[in-house]
Structure 1
Amino acid sequence: IILNNKKIQIKSPKDAVKNGIGYLSEDRKRYGLVLGLDIETNVVMANFSDYINPIGFVKTGKTSKAATESVKELAIKTPGISQEVKNLSGGNQQKVVIGKWLTRDCDILIFDEPTRGIDIGAKGEIYKLLNELASQGKSIIMISSELPEVLRMSHRIIVMCEGRITGELSNEEATQEKIMQYATAR
């Protein structure tokens, strides 16, 4: 992998995070969040060491500020940052996961099925947010099995079948038919 003109090796998730790559799992409840904890804790989780003082105490003012900024920036609908994540809607839970990686300041964000299990209104908010992140210079890699979503959101589409790349299309040349042709190429 070449990142910012530098060859890097990623042998673990920790290596990826260290190099500014964040992964947002399709199963946010199992791999993206700690449902029994509050928004504040979840938002700072990917960068927790920055929120601990030298003797091991949590810098609560700093965590509170980061979480409050995420709630505001991402328009998370919640009564407050102490709200347990399990009590949020699916779309707002997804925004908390996004906030976690934005707090980490990742340059590359891999979204795996970013709108799975959220309502149509929340999908629109997630799409808007993805476009805003891209306009800020963040690289967005979106993995999706929903073809309309792929066609709506992508600048470039890489199609894979059985673990290998079978095609690459620009947004202008992409159609559902071409994508399916590549997706079934063996």
Structure 2
Amino acid sequence: GKPVRISQPADAVRSGIGYLSEDRKGVGLLLDQNVWQNTALASLDKFNVGGMMNDAKAKQVAEAYVKDLRTKTPSVNQPVKLLSGGNQQKVVLAKWLVRDTDILIVDEPTRGIDVGAKEEIYRLLERLASEGKSIIVISSELPELLRIADRIVVMASGRITGELTNEDASQNRIMDYATKIAEEGELTL
């Protein structure tokens, strides 16, 4: 509801925006670090006491999110590289929930995770939306969009080519918008 100027990632974080990259291993996580360290990563200021990290508090918060998100890990001391893809994604999600972001941009949220974990991620995103979080999903998987989106904005060649409510959306309609750009570069809606 208010305009913001974002020129670098820190501006987005300060504005309450979190980003779950499609490349969770390369960008979203520190693979050699454990679950609690990754969970605290976007909110180090919350765990800073006199210039030192309050490890006990960070572990306690991470344990609460492991329980809430049903992350399968033997402990919060487990290196995230040893978790399944779906559980790694939950750790990335927990990182932004600790930060208490209002807007979550999730890019290809179920890439590289199994079918059961996909359904769990969908339920988590739906729960967050019902709790008032704004969720922006970027996905190339049409069934995924039709499963979780309330509104679908289709882009082609870097421009918005159509917008559909979930009730009006189908794979065919989405593909029509994704491929309809008139000869002169004008959009057909």
The TM-score range, normalised by the shorter chain, is over 0.9
Other-structure match for 2:84: 89
* Correspondent of 1:30 among 21, 26, 30: 26
RMSD: 0.7
Other-structure match for 2:60: 65
Tell me how far apart the structure 2 counterparts of residues 31 and 78 of structure 1 sit (CA, whole Å).
Answer: 21
Other-structure match for 1:133: 128
TM-score, scaled to structure 1? 0.96
TM-score, scaled to structure 2? 0.94
Which amino acid is the alignment partner of residue 134 of structure 1?
Answer: A
Larger mean CA deviation between 56-65 and 151-160 belongs to: 56-65
Gaps of 5+ in 1: none
* Secondary structure of residue in 2 paired with 1:142: strand
Tell me how far apart the structure 2 counterparts of residues 158 and 49 of structure 1 sit (CA, whole Å).
Answer: 35
Gaps of 5+ in 2: 182-189
- Whether 2:151 is the aligned partner of 1:153: answer no
Deviation at 1:144, TM superposition (A): 0.4
The runs of at least 4 consecutive aligned structure 1 residues that moved more than 3 Å come to none
Deviation at 1:61, TM superposition (A): 1.9
* Secondary structure of residue in 2 paired with 1:125: helix
* Secondary structure of residue in 2 paired with 1:130: helix
Q: Percent sequence identity over matched residues?
A: 58
What is the number of residues matched between the two proteins? 181
Tell me how far apart the structure 2 counterparts of residues 10 and 80 of structure 1 sit (CA, whole Å).
Answer: 37
Other-structure match for 1:46: 42
- Whether 2:16 is the aligned partner of 1:16: answer no
Residues 148-173 of structure 1 show CA distances to partners (whole Å, capped at 9, x for unaligned) of 11111110000000111000000011
Which amino acid is the alignment partner of residue 80 of structure 1?
Answer: S
Residues 107-135 of structure 1 show CA distances to partners (whole Å, capped at 9, x for unaligned) of 10000000000000000100110110011
